[in-house]
Amino acid sequence: MLNPKIELQIAAQQTENLSKQLQAESCLLSTSKTIQNAYSPAAWIRHFMIQRSVIRGMAINRMVAAGKTMAEIQAETNCTTSEIAAYKAWNTMYAKSFGLSIQPPKPGKNGKVSKKRQTKYEADMAFLKSCGIQVEEEEAV
């Protein structure tokens, strides 16, 4: 069984890199008339809806981890109880399924792991590592 762990230093570096990239892109979008016209209103709205959703989810899960009550979270985020519950469930759902999605590929009928599956697995593991997620194999109990 595989056991994912967050390497906080790498995760912090990647978060900082993503923040810089987002800030640079946002700056270009707000200052460059040429780039602003490249987006349709629908694409622009979708961009902001996704960004708002990610930020809310991060904030809510941070507050939950800090032990804040539902009322405190509502006061800080202006989210409804059902929105907060949905973000909490979303975080738990992915936390549970995460371990299942990083199992090494199993051999096929011929007893070998296909090159395609092995390559995908290695790419997934490299991506996780770049995000600060270290995956180690747990000893069987």
Q: What residues does each domain of the chain span?
A: 1-22+102-141, 39-97
Give the position of tokens 């070998």: 112
Per-position pLDDT tens, the chain of length 141: 455 667 778 878 888 988 898 888 878 877 877 776 777 778 878 888 888 888 898 899 889 889 999 999 999 999 999 999 998 887 776 555 555 456 778 888 899 999 988 888 888 888 777 777 776 654 444
Token couple for 66:
């800090």
Which residue type does 43 have? A
